[in-house]
Structure 1
Amino acid sequence: MYQIKEFSYLCKTTIKTLRHYEKVGVLLPKEINSLTGYRFYEESQVETFQQIKTLQEAGFTLKEIKDILYSTKESQLNQQILDMISDYNDRLKKLQELKDSLREETKIELIPNSNFIMIGKYKRLKSRDDYDKEFAKIDKKIGIYRNVSKKALECYTPGYQEENFLCFIGRAVKDDYKEIHNVAALTSRMKQVGLDILIDDRPPTMLHIHTKGSVSDAYQKLIQYAEQNQIQLRGSFKEVYNDNDLDIYIEAYDLTKENPDQTKFETDLKKKLASTEPQYDKELIGKWKLLGEQLEPTKFYNPEKSQFIPDTELKEIEFRPNGTTNFSNITWRDKYMIIKEGEYDIYCSIGVMKRKRKRYLTVLLNTEKSASRPIRLFYKKEKSKGEIL
């Protein structure tokens, strides 16, 4: 199944639209994890979404569409309408497939990390139509590195977006060029002209798509490939442009193969927790209120600004001195929050980050759905009597 973020790419629509459809009852998730707030959809529901959009374009209201999709009244007429829509959408799909066949074949593969260094600026774009204009402003400042780089965009806002999204605009430079091996000097030089350097976390593998097709089609194919091949996606998407070619990269892991580093980490962690006395950091003890999900890199993240807040039961967390919390299935010790989900223990990294004399709790939230993308949540400590934050 697909998380709502991934499902939005399949439907080429926003998370906001999917949540609205859920609210009015025309398209409900197949499953909701009440603790994390994760919503999961099946690929077959893409057809339902397409039916809804086609009916809307034909002038039907969402209430009328709900009746057509789910009401038993006039069921024969409703089925005739849906059959006509399915036939129409099938024809559109065949036309798209024909169009794709005229282009060079799309290639998707799991590859070693491409080790890009990004030079540019962190921005919020009102529309994708503004990208070229903003890129031109930034590109003037990049100078000689234009010769060893490609136009690029890294997207942070979750789900499919055409408007009002967070991103990093600039150029992607492969770090095997001798000219930029001195990253400190490059960072200093770019800072002088008002630009930032973005270095990824060096994940071992990335999922990569190369295509001459549209951005939206590329995302759709990438998400489908990951689901069909049990590949876990993490982090943000990097779009790299070269004339008519488009490459998209994202940190990814093949779940069908054992990851020696991850296996060793989990084994060592369990041994350590089983053989040592629990440590309860005083900094973590107390009540924490959710500020939102961290989307952009930490260096650009401002916890005090308005944030994207996922629909989760973990709006407030209380870490108690004895290792318990305000949730019966969640305990904590050392630097981990441990969620009991059925027969599984899910270990979520926790820690305190300090910004401008304020402390914030960070939680890397995992779920038993191993193919789901973990999210990083930020919390602000609630002040207790006599406590100075």
Structure 2
Amino acid sequence: MLPIGEFSKICNVTTKTLRYYDEIGLLKPSIVNGHNGYRYYDVQQLKTILLITKLKKYGCSLEEIELILRDPCGEKLPRLIRQKQQQLQMQLENQQSVLQQLADDISKLEKGIDIMAYLDNIAVELVETAPRNILYTRQKMSIDEYCKYFGQLFETIAREKLTCLGAPIAIYHDKEFDPASNDTEIAIPIAEKNSRTRELAGGLCAKGVHRGAYSELPSTYTRIVQWMEENGYQIAAPPYEIYVTDPAVIKSPDDTVTEIYFPIKK
């Protein structure tokens, strides 16, 4: 048996963190001294803490890790690892895109060109959208969790043999931006109606098409809002995005196509 201090030194995890893992039930010590409350760990638990550390490094939440520890040899672990690989790959590609933008902007500045002039080239159009029946889940989530929730919806569609009618959608209900905990509705249009579907209302929208990395979406949002002000429109309902391209298929973030819709009124 290893006292908590020795266990901490071996696995490079602070005793504070180990006590927290104990409190939330993620990793409980094998023995707790009833007189002084001192924690002792079994040597075999070193493997468990190493797995926890590895999964945290991959970007897994403690909730996700807890599910894995319940069944470490099950199907959830490889599925989660693949999901995190895709997320990290997207982050890497986004960083490569930023480096290319830096090079482009340096070149423009050297030629005396305004690096924000591109906003004037973003087209905005007035469209009338049709209602959509959507399979959805709505909750507070981080941007990095979108793939997970979209994956769950697609699993439901495959398992229940539902009919997919369009590209994935994200609807933003929060009044302010919080990348770590945003009130977001993840949805997929389907033909069937059930207790997990609702109608996404149709109507008049200001539409912009963003071509490029998701990190640059605010540029298109900015141009849409400018256009709305220029033409006397107001926001009538939460804006939403339709992901026309599949990130797993395209070769570069620059090939990403996202449609942005702002329901509007005069």
Greater helix fraction, Structure 1 or Structure 2: 2
The structure in which a higher percent of residues are strand is 1
Q: Provide the TM-score with structure 2 as the length reference.
A: 0.47
**Could you state the TM-score of these two structures normalised by the residue count of structure 1?**
0.33
